[in-house]
Amino acid sequence: MKLKIVLLFLISLNLFSCEESHIPKKRAYYRLETPTLEYKNIEAPQFYLDILKSSQFGMRKDNVDWSTIEYPTLNAALYLSYFKDTNIEKLTEDARKSAYKHTIKADDIINMQFALPEKNLYGTVYSIEGNAATPAIFFFTDSVQQFLHGTVYFNCSPNADSLKPVIQFIRQDIEHIIETFEWKDSEQKSN
């Protein structure tokens, strides 16, 4: 009798234990596809620039001096702030301080200055390496009265390793923005 009970128990145990075992998946990151390099021209109240066709340009309703270029497929955005008739030196220093606030998390901060006198465009791009909140901060100025400050943010926790291809792509897009950027106010004062 005991043998029958043991056999019955083993058979029932075998029948009910045929479920698929669940193995936890390894931690991974989303695969982000970089968009194709097709551009469209954008006209803001203060400037012109080319952005990716897959991105979206928007201005705040309450303040046209604040705008955003969103990269929906990259889960990122480029925030732009425009200033006119202000202290260019102070704004330049504020942009520098904004970039160097990230030294706590950054592995390195590389600044690239540029000057395009034919377009009356001067500025600096700060490439922030490592797990900082932003991979790039930049500013453009006409050196007299117009100033544009830009900051890139991701809608996720920063992880430089997994976001590296996307960060490189956005930095290349910033270079394209520099190449196509024009101030709308064509009557610039010369130094």
Question: Which segments of 32-145 are extended strands (E)?
Answer: 39-43, 47-52, 56-59, 66-71, 76-84, 106-116, 121-130, 136-141
Residue 32 lies in a domain: no
CB atoms within 10 A of CB 171: 16
**What mean pLDDT comes out for the span 124-132?**
88
**pLDDT, tens digit (0-9, with 9 covering 90-100), for 13-55:** 666 655 666 666 666 555 666 667 888 999 998 999 999 898 8
- pLDDT exceeding 90 applies to what percent of the chain? 32
CATH number of the domain that 161 lies in?
3.40.1000.10
- pLDDT value of position 190: 40
Residue 117 has pLDDT above 60, yes or no: yes
- pLDDT value of position 27: 64
78 vs 14, more confident = 78
- pLDDT value of position 123: 93
Tell me what the pLDDT averaged over the chain comes to.
82
Q: What is the DSSP string of 70-102?
A: EEGGGTEEEEEEEEESS-HHHHHHHHHHHHHGG
- pLDDT value of position 112: 93
Residue 130 lies in a domain: yes
Domain that holds residue 144: 39-183
Residue 51 lies in a domain: yes
Residue 92 lies in a domain: yes
- CA separation for the pair 33, 56 (Å, rounded): 17
Residue 8 lies in a domain: no
Residue 18 lies in a domain: no
Number of domains in the chain: 1
Residue 189 has pLDDT above 50, yes or no: no
pLDDT band, residue 187 (cuts 50/70/90) = very low
> Quick one: 99 exposed, middle or buried, by C-beta within 10 A (0-12, 13-18, 19+)?
buried
- CA separation for the pair 162, 57 (Å, rounded): 26
Residue 166 lies in a domain: yes
Most confident of the following: 26-30, 82-86, 176-180: 176-180
- pLDDT value of position 70: 92
**What mean pLDDT comes out for the span 118-138?**
89
Residue 149 lies in a domain: yes
